[in-house]
Amino acid sequence: MSKQLRVKVNNKAYEVEVGDLSASPVIIVVNGHEYAVEFEESLPVVSTPVVKTASAAAPVKAAPKPAPVPATPSAANGDAITAPMPGTIVEIMVKPGDKVTPGTPLCALEAMKMKNIIRSNHEGTIASIEVSEGQKVAYGAPLVRFA
């Protein structure tokens, strides 16, 4: 018994005929080309069979990972560190008068249930803290200013 399917791989449509799944190898016809497919492991069947193929279609590449948010946000006007994303300030780690170097943790910003440590991008002295713990901030909002 075979089953006719229409599938999309990388936005390209394929006509697929899947042969008897209890046979080994399973014969699959993709756009008129026949392939013998062997299962490497038993896969659970949800609503339609899941078939591993080696050469039936172009290999499916993993989606690219989203670019990470920079840990060291750039200063908007040279004297402030700004929020790299909207979120909530959960911890402030410096106070006015503190001397900091590049990489010094300044505060923690929670966004999408992830705690992001905001670090200094240059050496200097903290002039003021522009936020408070628990405060919601928008993208680009000043967090700390340098003297």
CA distance 101 to 94: 12
Please name the residues in contact with 133: beta carbons below 8 A apart, sequence gap of 6 or more.
89, 90, 91, 92
Total-model pTM: 0.48
Question: Do residue 87 and residue 134 come from a single domain?
Answer: yes
In a domain, 95, yes or no: yes
Question: Do residue 95 and residue 134 come from a single domain?
Answer: yes
Model confidence pLDDT, tens digit, residues 13-50: 878 887 776 677 778 788 777 877 776 655 444 444 44
DSSP structure class, residue 57: S
Question: Do residue 109 and residue 139 come from a single domain?
Answer: yes
Q: Coil, helix or strand for 89?
A: strand
Q: Coil, helix or strand for 11?
A: coil
List the structure tokens of 68.
């990470």
Model confidence pLDDT, tens digit, residues 88-109: 999 999 999 999 999 999 999 9
Domain that holds residue 114: 80-146
